[in-house]
Amino acid sequence: MGEETAPTATAAAPASAPTHILLICFPGQGHVNPMLRLAKRIAAKGLVVTFSSTDSVGEKLIASAGVSAGGDGVPVGRGRVRFEFLEDGVHKNELDDLLRHLEKTGSPKFAELLRRQAGSGRPVACVVVNPFMPWAIDVAADAGIPSAVLWVQSSLVFSLYYHHVHGLVEFPPEDDPDARFTLPGLPPLSVADVPSFLLPSNPFKLLTDTIINQFRTIDRASWVLVNSFTELERDVVAALPAVTPRPPELIPVGPLIELEGPEDDGTVRGDLIKAADDCVGWLDSQAPRSVVYASVGSVVVLSAEEVAEMAHGLASTDRPFLWVVRPDTRPLLPEGFLDSVANRGMVVPWSPQDRVLAHPSTACFLTHCGWNSTLETVAAGVPVVAFPQWGDQCTDARFLVDELRMGVRLRAPLRREAVREAVDAAVAGPDADAMLANARKWSAASRAAVAPGGTSDAHVQAFVDEVSRRAGGGQAAKV
């Protein structure tokens, strides 16, 4: 980012066509959701936004969300969101294989996609990339197009990565859980709070290298947008400018959650697995604040023993529960379990999570603490049972439980008795009322940030205005 500063709102000069921004997204559920939601926020300001990823993501979005590639897209607010995908035939299941394939084939395919936009009369004014595709910044620069990075984790995690990459912090040994370290704007942390990708025991070395490479090249981007909001992480964002070497300025544009209202009717969603249609109807039949909602997201893999302990633990709470069990995990359910809980438990392959969390029947969320899920539960004002596995989930769990004080921890190894005790503590324990009050306070703050004129909404508007100014002044899309 170098000499760049956060964009300031300016009036764009009229032109013959709306400004066009293209978002290129890593093919994973945890990346698609925030990127697509950002696309809708930008489009609502009057721009044309093209969302792109691999064609494997395109196939899933077409099947689960009904989107269609090419054409003019769909209206969102005063603008439009359209879809085009990289035709590279990538269907890699292993993360390392996927990263290698994208690094090798992604650049020429992405360059071709950008040329196709210009040839179709909608030249791209800005490219937005995310951390697992750092090569996209170079492709955009070669085409003379400015770029922005969307950091899809917390500002706190950004600070930890930045300090690590620049040799500004030494984490305690992994076998010393009682040791603490401090960084500007952050609470005292232990090695258990560090994203596991930065620890010697991390098995995903290529993934770590990809993220670190993003930090070494991030100055090539003109903007660094972050899926957070000013009020949530004020101290860490305020402390970063004093760090040497100085990091790029973080521009909070979140929480990137689904919004309700005239600017977004919910028809464009980023679910790569089709959500169960009857979740909300089932919740309608339950008492207020009675349902335990459980999900470990799209990537976390539980062992057969962990699935069994989770199943028996949820059943032992004597509360209605809605449990997301992906198709790859369903065969691990204990024999006869579904029949035994049919009268009060609902097990689905995927859920419309934002709607589930916002439902008045939902009492708590047993979550792996991915950042998207963290922000969705903050926005919904729902207490959590934090069950992190790896990566930034470890940091997010600490943030939810110890800093925001809106939940309890469920620690490994997973045991059914611990599941029951944690749920009871979050819903009816001596601190349950305080956790609910804190959750509702942060919900109000998050909703205010994305409301018209809120801090994040103003940042999105300023970004849109600056991109349009640089492009020579685009005008609002006609819808």
Chain center to CA of 100: 23
Q: Which of 20, 31, 164, 368 is catalytic?
A: 31
CA separation for the pair 478, 304 (Å, rounded): 53
Yes or no: say if 227 and 256 are a contact pair by the CB < 8 Å rule.
yes
Q: Clarify whether 163 is annotated catalytic.
A: no
Q: Which amino acid is at 325?
A: V
Chain center to CA of 364: 20
CA separation for the pair 110, 55 (Å, rounded): 12
CA separation for the pair 178, 40 (Å, rounded): 44
Yes or no: say if 121 and 106 are a contact pair by the CB < 8 Å rule.
no
How many helices, marked H, and strands, marked E, lie in the chain?
Answer: 16, 14
146 class by beta-carbon count within 10 Å (0-12 exposed, 13-18 middle, 19+ buried) = buried
CA separation for the pair 408, 388 (Å, rounded): 12
3-state secondary structure of 148: strand
Yes or no: say if 115 and 191 are a contact pair by the CB < 8 Å rule.
no
Cβ atoms within 10 Å, residue 195:
23
CA separation for the pair 20, 18 (Å, rounded): 6
* E runs forming strands in 370-462: 384-386, 407-409
Yes or no: say if 120 and 91 are a contact pair by the CB < 8 Å rule.
no
Q: Which amino acid is at 298?
A: S
| Among candidate residues 244, 254, 159, 182, the one with its CA nearest the CA of residue 446 | 254
Q: Say if strands 362-367 and 291-295 run parallel, antiparallel, or are unpaired.
A: parallel
CA separation for the pair 76, 69 (Å, rounded): 16
* Six-digit token string for 237: 């964002």
Catalytic annotation, residues = 31
